[in-house]
Amino acid sequence: MKIAFIGTGVMGHSMAGHLMGAGHELVISTRTKSKAESLLERGASWADTAAEAADGMDMAIAIVGMPHDVEEVFLGDAGILSANTPPPIIIDMTTSPPSLARRIAEAATAKGVSSIDAPVSGGDIGARNGTLSIMVGGETPAVATAMPIFELMGKTIVHQGPAGSGQHTKMVNQILIAGGMLGMCEGLRYADAAGLDGGKVIESVGGGAAGSWSINNLGPRILQGDFEPGFFIEHFLKDLTIAFDEAAAMDLDLKALAMARAFYELAVNEGLGRKGTQALQLLIERDPVASS
């Protein structure tokens, strides 16, 4: 297939690479061209705008940063839907509000285009290994067409329902992770204070009831002092804010979500926004009051 791919950051770069590895022809547009350099060297083409990248293609995929980026990429003056000949299928793999996914779907339908929201979970590791969890919202025929593409990037792919359903499912995912991440950081802080070997502790708890993707993948990074991003804290705060707002719209009072969001907000205010989510550990080690 001829695929426009918008966004080659921490996760998007690897995801685009898997598509190229399977023989698909990519036209790439991203805010910082240097981040796409290795893909261009492998044979991908470059376009200055999302509209230019998408024009006449079979499919367009975007994974960018914030909701305003998603809106610009799909609905902006130089966005995918403003292409002279938009692709028949457009896919947003960014985590963004369900309401925005529905708005993109409505604009796409008006142009005879099918829109899919397909946010992902698994971080840089899942993106590199092609083992992402992909949560899909959209109409069944378009999803069926896109499924072989998703299978190149992910391992767990579930069609959740109509437009916005993928994004709602991602909110569940982020709510689950948020509190667990705090528990992981505090647990490892406790292990250190007790004089335990952190690696051995992870070996014990990682396979039991406390086992999680975070402790088994991010726990070792914490022990190694590696706080570089597999997923940015500032992006996680964005996700939790979306979840908080969606919960409020459904008259849900999710206290653990509110507590976690406040902690991530503190991390951003302390200058950790461009670090990986495991860098919450730095807050817990720096300020005992913050973890109380």
Q: Which residues pair with 259 in a beta bridge?
A: none
Tell me, yes or no, whether 11 and 147 share the same domain: yes
Please give the pLDDT value at position 292: 43
Give the residue from 117, 140, 162 where a domain finishes. 162
Give the residue from 162, 193, 220 where a domain finishes. 162
The candidate with the shortest Cα–Cα distance to 263, out of 282, 248, 245, 250, is: 282
Please give the pLDDT value at position 286: 80
Q: Is the pTM of this model over 0.85?
A: yes
The whole-number mean pLDDT for each consecutive block of 10 residues of the chain, a chain of 292 residues, reads 96 97 98 94 97 98 96 98 98 97 98 98 94 98 98 98 98 93 94 97 96 94 94 94 95 94 95 94 73 44
Tell me, yes or no, whether 143 and 65 share the same domain: yes
Compute CA 134 distance to the chain's CA centroid, rounded to the nearest angstrom. 10
Tell me, yes or no, whether 135 and 204 share the same domain: no
Give the residue from 127, 162, 197 where a domain finishes. 162
Tell me, yes or no, whether 21 and 113 share the same domain: yes
The CA distance from 222 to 114, in Å, is 42
Please give the pLDDT value at position 291: 44
Q: How far is CA 116 from CA 106, 108, 160, 171, 239, in A?
A: 11, 10, 11, 16, 19
Residue 170 bears catalytic tag: yes
- Domain of residue 80, residue span: 2-162
The CA distance from 263 to 248, in Å, is 19
The CA distance from 23 to 9, in Å, is 21
Please give the pLDDT value at position 287: 56
Please give the pLDDT value at position 60: 98
Tell me, yes or no, whether 119 and 248 share the same domain: no
Catalytic residue among 111, 155, 170, 238: 170
SS3 215: helix
Instruction: Go through the chain and tell me how many residues it has.
Output: 292
Please give the pLDDT value at position 236: 94
